[in-house]
Amino acid sequence: MSDRKGLSRRDFLKTAGVAGTGSLLAAAGPFMPNDSFAAENNPQNDRVPTRPFGKTGVNVSILGLGGMFDIPSNQLVLRQALKWGVTYWDTADCYEGGNSEIGIGDFFKRYPEQRKEIFLVTKSDARDPAGMTRLLDRSLDRMKTDYIDLYLIHGMKAIDEVNAATRAWMEKAKSSGKIKFFGFSTHSNMEELMLAAAKLGWIDGIMMTYNYRVMAKSRMQSAVTACTEAGIGLTAMKTQGSGWFSGLAESGGEMTDRFIKLGFSDKQANLKAVWENPNIACVCSQMPNMSILTSNIAAALNQTRLSAADLLTMQRYAHATSSTYCAGCTRLCEPTVAGQAPIGDIMRYLMYHNSYGERDRARSLFAGLPAVTRDCLLGHDYSEAEKVCPQGLKIGQLMREATRLLG
């Protein structure tokens, strides 16, 4: 099988995976913009596959475009993603101070006929019905669309953040045609939220932290099973399993060598590990540039399966580096400081700073914490938190590092 311009698909996958994508883009040249979408769409078998999204009746691309980047200045990424079948687009009211949604609106303004191709996901930072209505209307206006496919409550930590009033709001929003499906995103206490949501009966979709570090935990496996049986569509995010410290995660030694021999990078292997679970409909990945987009698409098109030995290698690596990764189980550590320090959030900001290299975003998020929270952060005794942390994180030391780097 070959793709356009004579580059064989196998070569494409290997080049994008191992040698990096810069040279590929320059040499093969199939990714340049053109004003005609219809003429450029790839044959079906070179498009990212799809999977059913829970019981919604909708099939979504297994690779989703995470929108936490400067979309107004990167319209080419959206265009190329669509051409390769990445039709699940994710954003939030707060991403890039609203510029993420505005950038998607720029795209739909220029290519309105493409709206129906996209499974559009955005999120509300409000919890109260009036606030959700205000933010939903603003999202619709920014994105130049009449409806959102999947509307999520953003970053839930406990199931009591949704209630009967939320359900009534959701039913009204659906009947008005402004949203098609409803759910929440979470990177804290994911398993507990998923298990509780499976019992509610009115959650259509959940976007949660899910990667090779958490997927083997029995409670996460139970949570995925419960959601699947309840017909909830699952989207995995934070799929690279990056932690507050990037050094080890970027040099997986045995793991990296193993996957290079198979023809893809450890980053691509991390995606493939998630796709090994057929109950995960979509991997939502931040793809702010063509290099990452191309590499991820190569992984999505690659039909090589990870073996049990490959997955075991990843589990061994996860175990050996557990103290570099915060698993989001804030129900364990945050009560030990009376909920006065958002430990899980701060670990995530450190991840953005140290592993993602997104220093401005990390500092901006840290600055968004209440002043009293920041001012008191170093005054807490974290010894109990460290005792209950299953990952063995040196929480006190990391709070000091966060204050130094982000404050």
List interacting residues with ligand SF4 (CB under 6 A): 326-330, 332-333, 343-344, 347, 389, 391, 393, 395
Q: Which residues contact 248 (CB under 8 A, 6 or more apart)?
A: 321, 324
Q: Where are the alpha helices (DSSP H) in 129-184?
A: 129-143, 164-175
Separation in Å, CA 269 to CA 134, 218, 304, 384: 40, 22, 10, 36
Task: Give 304 or 322: the residue with its C-beta nearer to ligand SF4.
Answer: 322
398's tokens: 């990391």
User: Which residue pairs from 354-358 have beta carbons closer than 8 angstroms and sit at least 24 positions apart in sequence?
Assistant: 354/244, 354/245, 354/246, 354/405, 355/240, 355/242, 355/243, 355/244, 355/245, 355/246, 355/249, 355/250, 356/242
Q: How far is the CB of 210 from ligand SF4 (least distance, A)?
A: 15
Question: Each residue of 234-246: b (16+ CB within 10 Å) or e?
Answer: bbbbbbbbbbbbb
The least CB distance from residue 64 to ligand SF4, in Å, is: 25
User: What is the smallest separation between the CB atom of 322 and ligand SF4, expressed in angstroms?
Assistant: 9
CA angle at residue 48 from 47 to 50, to 5 degrees? 120
Instruction: Quote the CA–CA distance of 347 and 369 in Å, as a whole number.
Output: 13
Residue 52 pairs in a beta bridge with 59
DSSP state of 239: T
Smallest gap from Cβ 281 to ligand SF4, in A, equals 26
CB of 284 to ligand SF4, least distance (A): 21
Cα–Cα dist 287/134, whole Å? 28
Least distance (Å) between residue 232 CB and ligand SF4: 23
- Closer residue to ligand SF4 (CB): 230 or 378: 378
Residue 85 region by backbone torsions, left for phi larger than 0, else alpha for psi between -120 and 50, else beta = left
Query: Please, what is the minimum distance in Å from the beta carbon of residue 80 to ligand SF4?
Result: 36
Residue entry with tokens 């990391």:
398
Q: Which residues neighbour 395 within 8 Å (Cβ) at sequence distance 6 or greater?
A: 333, 343, 382, 385, 386, 389
CB of 189 to ligand SF4, least distance (A): 8
Min separation Cβ 161 and ligand SF4, Å = 17
HSE-up of 92 (CA within 13 Å, CB side)? 20
CB 181 within 8 A of CB 56: yes
Whole-angstrom Cα Rg for the chain? 21
Instruction: Give the nearer residue to ligand SF4 in terms of CB position, either 42 or 323.
Output: 323
Q: Name which of 205 and 328 has its Cβ closer to ligand SF4.
A: 328
Q: Which is nearer to ligand SF4, 288 or 328 (CB)?
A: 328
What minimum distance in Å lies between the beta carbon of 249 and ligand SF4?
Answer: 15
Question: Quick one: 145 or 211, whose CB is closer to ligand SF4?
Answer: 211
Residue placing its CB nearer to ligand SF4 in the complex, 256 or 403: 403
For ligand SF4, give the closer residue by CB, 287 or 395: 395
Name which of 56, 58, 54 is nearest 116 in CA terms: 58
For ligand SF4, the closer of residues 83 and 213 by Cβ is 213
Nearer to ligand SF4, 307 or 397 (CB): 397
Q: How many CB atoms lie within 10 A of CB 29?
A: 11
